[in-house]
A and B are shown apart, each in its own frame.
Chain A
Amino acid sequence: MALATATASASTAQPVPQSLHFDDTVVHVKRGTQGVVLDIKNLDLFYGASQALYGVNLTVEQGMVTALIGPSGCGKSTLLRCINRMNDLVDNIKITGSLSLHGENIYARGADVIALRKRMGMVFQKPNPFPMSIFENVVYPLRIDGVRDKNILQETCERALKGSALWNEVKDRLDQNALGMSGGQQQRLCIARAIAADPEVLLMDEPCSALDPIATAKVEELIHQLSGTYTIVIVTHNMQQAARVSDNTAFMYLGRLIEYGDTEVIFQNPLAQRTQDYVTGRFG
């Protein structure tokens, strides 16, 4: 019910975000024009007996960049990994609540996890290239779909590597082993791999933590380019980066979503005290 109100009020008064409370979360989302992609409702998550997420409610707008910020260990990665069901691999995990992609519950019984993951790309906190050539790494998502056409593969590879600002460095050694690259290069390779198959949603877990400022700028530029067409959820510890690239920002603390809304508001004039403390660096 509260969500409906939020949507209504946001569409009437676009520029001035309104604050709304449901549960404890302060919400003042900047609405896009293309509707909601992801709708997370009352998400609780337990690693064995310890709870990592407490009743998270979050809607991700299509075509917009959503940043997840918060102190280390607050559950950002956990939340992100719920979106493409990466947490399924963890033993003894319990997830309650619902998470729907275009209105379709992805945790429903019989949901096709593989099809779901094909619609999403993911960049992990630590680079995880595969033990193959650079080329094969980038086109891996296409390979597993059975794409054989050399031209398509090569085009995809080039486009994805250019997108992740890696093309110039590796264009002459695409057949070399990806494990021989530097950490930062590996991370950009993983970004290339994530965008190679044109995912609808791109999930990025601190993609720039291993990158130098130039590569970081390139990735941010990439995020700018992609926003509008793709929906991006990005976890970052870098406040400036969150402020630069995102439309909406969610601030999490100890497994709870404290404040979620327009990035400008979060960073300049947050409504919750904790957010205020965090973005001004008074704790964390």
Chain B
Amino acid sequence: MEIAAAVASGAVAQNARTYHRVTDLRARGEPFTWVLGGALCLGIVMIVGFLLLVLWNGFLTFVPRPVAVVTTTAGKVSAGEVARTDTFRPAPDALAKLAPDAQEKIKKAEGFAGRTLYRIGNFDLYSEDFRWIDDNEIKSTEYPKNIVYVERQEWGPFIGTVKAITLDGKPAEGTDFSAPAVASAYSEALARGKRVREIERDEIGNVNHEVERARLAVRKAELKSGRDSQAYKDAAAHFEQLSVDSRGEYERLTAEVQRLRSINDKFTVTFAEIGGREKTVPMVNIVRAYMPNDLSFAQKVGVYFSRWGEFLISEPREANTEGGVFPAIFGTLAMTLLMVIAVAPFGVMTALYLREYAKQGRLVAFVRISVNNLAGVPSIVYGVFGLGFFAYVIGGSIDQLFYPERLPNPTFGTGGLLWASLTLALLTVPVVIVATEEALAAVPRSMREGSLACGASKWQTIRNIVMPRALPGVMTGIILAMARGAGEVAPLMLVGVVKLAPELPIDGHFPYVHLERSFMHLGFHIFDVGFQSRNSEAGKPMVFVTTVLLITLVAVMNAAAIIIRNRLKRRFVGSQF
């Protein structure tokens, strides 16, 4: 009866409804789709634009560029790579001095003139690396084939011509760099240079390390049992003995270094800059030399990749604006991994307690809000906290307890890899907690019930059923934390990142892993090279390259985590049909 009535009224309603042939545009919601699509496009354009800018600049930095020799109307000659061009408005009095046709041209361009920045190198001779030259003043531009571009260990690049080559004190025939005699002399000189570094860094370092250990042992014995004890006397005697022994060793090593250096001093190349001034450079100081205006395509590719290779595996030189960033790559990776090791268990345990064990009430809601708000605290505040709490309080106590002999030099009582990782862990823990909580909440209740109904305890249920199922979500949290942590710089400056740390946190001295050491970080490196260096123009390309590297590193770490997460997802979540 009722049903019949309902059907009848439905029929009436149908008749009352008006039908359009085409559904109204507003009803279809098309305009909203356009707005949403537009928003998406804008977002994508911004991100892609940024990435393209960074990638474009980053990947072009190492391309060898031709060197132009520019003669101005005033007769001044400069040689350099074009760094960038610019337009500017010349001052009226400068304008007045120009040739009439140039003045005319500037007037046409509404008072604007062009200029070009050349990287002229030869900082030791010119006291400048870059020079602006107005386009109007240029008389001629040439690309002579005999110009060489030399990357040196010191003073940055040299641009000029080869005047003479000296091998073992005697002038060599010709000025050809690729002649076999020169090439082999060069590689021998490099080998000697490498040996010198080995001796200075590792072998003398080892000697010093031994002596330092003996000295610390003396200090320790003194602190522990006093100056009159036998232990102190033994240690002191050992120290004396070692100091004497090491002196001999030290002298032998320095003599060897002297000898190698004096040999290397006899292998030199004399260059002349474009104005004719000469500069003699020991071969060992030449990192790379090529003729930029006379390179075949293959040679260009070779220079390009050899620069990338140097960048990735060697240490920085020239106040970080040249050379490689290997210590920074290592530091970034080590810190991020340590951070994940710290943040994952901590965040997961917190979330487990909050979601599974705590009685859901006002207190828990308050804690949850506080955790979420922590994510909004400026990261520098975490840096201050990390320095005060981790380094000074905890690190200071560790020093008092375990390394009293080294005081007043701090061991753990100052910024270092460990404290930086823990500070970042603290910074990113809200992300992990929130993601984990969400993942736990998403575990179907029926699964928990199934486990409990089998007689599993709550903990067994969490461990066997809930955690595996929530793991992909937890991984998402860790990925986000990692991305945030790897890109963070501000707090690190306070808790252990430094401009230059040649000693890696892992080396051959016991205990091999030195978490207390300060380290380098790609993010800080970008800041340092771009804004803190003597010559920020020279550092600029390095900023882009380092940014490309940092982005790649974060992307690779994230990709690895995402692959793991997808594996877990396939295994634990699956389809329900």
Chain A residue at smallest Cβ distance from B468: A131
A17 contacts B by Cβ under 8 Å: no
Enumerate A177-199 residues with CB–CB distance to B below 8 Å.
Answer: 177, 179-180, 182-183, 190, 193-194, 197
A122 contacts B by Cβ under 8 Å: yes
Enumerate A80-108 residues with CB–CB distance to B below 8 Å.
Answer: 84, 86, 89, 91
User: How many residues of chain B have a CB within 8 Å of chain A?
Assistant: 27
Q: Is the CB of A179 within 8 A of B453?
A: no
A1 contacts B by Cβ under 8 Å: no
Instruction: Please indicate the chain A residues that have their CB under 8 angstroms from the CB of B573 in the complex.
Output: 131, 179
Chain A residue at smallest Cβ distance from B448: A89
Contact of A144 among B446, B456, B468, B577 (CB under 8 A): B456
B299 contacts A by Cβ under 8 Å: no
User: How many residues of chain A have a CB within 8 Å of chain B?
Assistant: 32
Instruction: Please indicate the chain B residues that have their CB under 8 angstroms from the CB of A115 in the complex.
Output: 455
Q: With A86-B449, A140-B451, A183-B577 known to touch, is A114 a contact of B572 (CB < 8 Å)?
A: no
Enumerate B555-577 residues with CB–CB distance to A below 8 Å.
Answer: 571-577
B447 contacts A by Cβ under 8 Å: yes
Query: How far, in angstroms, from A143 to B572 measured CA to CA in the complex?
Result: 18
Q: Is the CB of A130 within 8 A of B464?
A: yes
Instruction: Please indicate the chain A residues that have their CB under 8 angstroms from the CB of B457 in the complex.
Output: 114, 144
Query: How far, in angstroms, from A84 to B451 measured CA to CA in the complex?
Result: 13
Convert A136-158 into 0s and 1s, putting 1 for each residue whose CB lies closer than 8 angstroms to a CB of B: 00001101110000000000000
B444 contacts A by Cβ under 8 Å: yes
Enumerate B431-460 residues with CB–CB distance to A below 8 Å.
Answer: 444-457, 460
Instruction: Please indicate the chain B residues that have their CB under 8 angstroms from the CB of A118 in the complex.
Output: 454-455
B469 contacts A by Cβ under 8 Å: yes
Q: Mostly helix, strand, loop or mixed at chain B's interface?
A: helix
B465 contacts A by Cβ under 8 Å: yes
For the complex formed, measure the closest distance between the CB of A11 and the CB atoms of chain B, giving whole angstroms.
34
Query: How far, in angstroms, from A144 to B444 measured CA to CA in the complex?
Result: 20
Enumerate A245-262 residues with CB–CB distance to B below 8 Å.
Answer: none
Q: Is the CB of A180 within 8 A of B448?
A: no
Q: Is the CB of A179 within 8 A of B574?
A: yes
User: Among A126, A140, A180, A183, which residue has the most Cβ atoms of chain B within 10 A?
Assistant: A140
Query: How far, in angstroms, from A197 to B446 measured CA to CA in the complex?
Result: 20
For the complex formed, measure the closest distance between the CB of B52 and the CB atoms of chain A, giving whole angstroms.
42
Instruction: Please indicate the chain B residues that have their CB under 8 angstroms from the CB of A91 in the complex.
Output: 360
Query: How far, in angstroms, from A179 to B453 measured CA to CA in the complex?
Result: 19
Q: Is the CB of B464 within 8 A of A144?
A: yes
For the complex formed, measure the closest distance between the CB of A108 and the CB atoms of chain B, giving whole angstroms.
18
Enumerate B525-577 residues with CB–CB distance to A below 8 Å.
Answer: 571-577
Q: Is the CB of A144 within 8 A of B452?
A: no
Instruction: Please indicate the chain B residues that have their CB under 8 angstroms from the CB of A179 in the complex.
Output: 572-576
For the complex formed, measure the closest distance between the CB of B41 and the CB atoms of chain A, giving whole angstroms.
38
3 closest residue pairs by CB, A with B? A179-B574, A118-B455, A128-B446
| Known contacts A128-B446, A128-B450, A131-B468; 15 further A-B pairs (Cβ under 8 A) | A86-B452, A114-B455, A114-B457, A115-B455, A117-B454, A117-B455, A118-B454, A124-B450, A128-B444, A128-B447, A130-B447, A131-B574, A143-B464, A144-B460, A179-B572
